[in-house]
């Protein structure tokens, strides 16, 4: 019993008096480098987004307020892909103060319908390929994407399918690729 009491006293002495391990300040993690902070900061935004109208559909609500430095400035009903019978279709304009991105977004009742529309649009997409591949969300493939650049006029088009939706973004230069890469799923 005496050994236990002496051991407890020694532990308390070593914890709070010498060497004082119980009240030492924890070393803080090194501050992130300025490069790390810059890469995680929000892009410079010069344009404020325009709120969605009251009663906006789920697809309209899925259109983000901001995509990178671009702000959503308008949402209008569209009929571009009406021949393939989407449930709903919207043309969404994003602006960064220098240029616009026009996003056409539509939703079909089944992923197979959207995949069929994507395949048709993809095969008709003209220009030099900038990138292509699979769309994955939470490690699961939900569709495909393709980005092409056209020389006349100098613009790019990003086309992607994510489950039951198809999106087509167009903008000057290679801006559609930058937009597509920043678009949240």
Q: What angle do CA 19, 24, 27 make, to 5 degrees?
A: 130
Residue 138, classed as helix, strand or coil, is coil
Residue 170, classed as helix, strand or coil, is strand
Kindly calculate the radius of gyration of the chain based on its CA atoms and give it in whole angstroms. 27
Per-residue pLDDT of 151-181, as tens digits, reads 888 999 999 999 999 999 999 999 999 999 9
Nearest partner of 82 among 102, 104, 63, 61, judged by Cα: 104
**Is it true that the peptide bond before 153 is cis, omega within 30 degrees of 0?**
yes
86 has a pLDDT exceeding 60: yes
pLDDT at residue 44 in the model: 78
pLDDT at residue 56 in the model: 95
91 has a pLDDT exceeding 80: yes
Q: How high is the mean pLDDT of the chain?
A: 83
Per-residue pLDDT of 1-18, as tens digits, reads 565 444 455 555 554 555
CA 130 to chain centre: 19
Beta strands in the chain (DSSP E): 66-67, 70-77, 88-95, 100-107, 128-137, 140-150, 155-162, 165-172
32 has a pLDDT exceeding 90: no
């Amino acid at each position: 019993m005496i050994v236990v009491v002496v051991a407890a006293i020694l532990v308390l002495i070593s914890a709070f008096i010498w060497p004082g391990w119980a009240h030492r300040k924890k070393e803080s993690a090194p501050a992130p480098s300025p490069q790390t902070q810059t890469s995680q900061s929000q892009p410079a935004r010069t344009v404020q987004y325009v709120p969605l109208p009251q009663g906006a559909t789920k697809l309209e609500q899925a259109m983000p307020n901001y995509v990178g430095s671009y702000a959503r400035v308008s949402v209008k009903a569209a009929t571009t892909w009406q021949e393939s019978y989407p449930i709903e279709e919207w043309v969404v304009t994003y602006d960064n103060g220098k240029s616009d991105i026009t996003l056409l977004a539509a939703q079909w009742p089944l992923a197979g319908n959207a995949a069929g529309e994507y395949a048709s649009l993809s095969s008709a997409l003209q220009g030099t390929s900038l990138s292509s591949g699979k769309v994955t969300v939470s490690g699961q493939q939900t569709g495909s994407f393709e980005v092409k650049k056209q020389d006349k006029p100098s613009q790019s088009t990003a086309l992607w399918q994510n489950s039951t939706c198809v999106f087509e973004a167009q903008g000057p230069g290679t801006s559609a690729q930058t937009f597509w890469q920043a678009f949240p799923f």
